[in-house]
Amino acid sequence: MKWALIVGGVVVALIAVVIIIGAMLPRDHVAAMTARVDATPDAVWSAITQPAAFPTWRTDVKTVELLAPTPTGPSWREHSAQGTLTFVVDAAEPPRRFVSRIADKNLPFGGSWEYLIDADGRSSSRVTVIERGSVYNPVFRFVSRFIMGHTATIDAYLRALGKRFGTEPIPTAVTLAGGSHGL
């Protein structure tokens, strides 16, 4: 019985520490990564702006439901093993800049992704993804910062995009003006 109380006390203490540390972390973060993709900016633009085709190259997306456009642009819902996320386009400047945002309001997180596409040689592109995220729940904030890392989703996305065009890119963290890349 004594050991059960000790183990229970340790578990409660660990949960309390996670909550306290998570509450002390900033709610908002900025994370950025870049990778060279073996495709022209037009081809990359086509891939990242056609949500209906995401399940063919993004292994994390099972299906996509196209929704009615909003005043700022197209909208869609991605279905994955982790649940569903609704996105809306906030800016589109073909073939250089694309901004999408999570439109769901009842999630423990939210934010936007900005995609910057620059030519990198005659048939390649430099793709930079900037995540401006908010994690509202202190436990998720702790997990996002110390377990997953703020760049994990960006890294997986850039790797999938590269594979879409037949190569394995090596995403690297980018330090933005102001000195932060989310780590």
List the CATH number of the domain containing 62: 3.30.530.20
Specify the DSSP element, H or E, that contains 135: strand 125-135
Stronger pLDDT, 79 or 149, i.e. the higher one: 79
Backbone angles phi, psi at 95, to 5 degrees: -100, 35
What is the count of structural domains for the chain?
Answer: 1
Report the pLDDT value the prediction gives residue 97, as an integer from 0 to 100: 98
Token pair for 30: 């900025």
Residue 181 lies in a domain: no
- pLDDT digit string, tens, across residues 19-76: 888 888 899 999 999 999 999 999 999 999 999 999 999 999 999 999 999 999 999 9
Q: How confident is residue 12, by pLDDT bands cut at 50, 70 and 90? A: confident
State percent of the chain over pLDDT 70: 96
With beta carbons less than 8 A apart as the criterion, state whether 41 and 95 touch: yes
Residue 106 lies in a domain: yes
Residue 52 lies in a domain: yes
Q: What is the mean pLDDT of residues 117-128?
A: 96
Exposure on the CB side of residue 113, measured as CA atoms within 13 A: 21
Residue 178 lies in a domain: no
Q: Which of 54, 127, 130 is nearest to 85 (CA)?
A: 54
Residue 70 lies in a domain: yes
Q: What value does the mean pLDDT of the chain take?
A: 92
Neighbours of 154 (CB within 10 A): 24
Residue 152 lies in a domain: yes
Report the pLDDT value the prediction gives residue 146, as an integer from 0 to 100: 87
Residue 39 lies in a domain: yes
Q: Which residues contact 109 (CB under 8 A, 6 or more apart)?
A: 102, 133, 134, 135, 136, 137, 140, 144
Residue 179 lies in a domain: no
Backbone angles phi, psi at 102, to 5 degrees: -70, 125
Q: How confident is residue 179, by pLDDT bands cut at 50, 70 and 90? A: low
Name residue, tokens 């904030």.
141
Domain that holds residue 126: 2-173
With 50 as the cut, is the pLDDT of residue 182 above it?
A: no
> What beta strand segments (E) does 25-108 contain?
28-37, 63-70, 73-80, 83-93, 97-102
Q: What is the mean pLDDT of residues 134-158?
A: 90
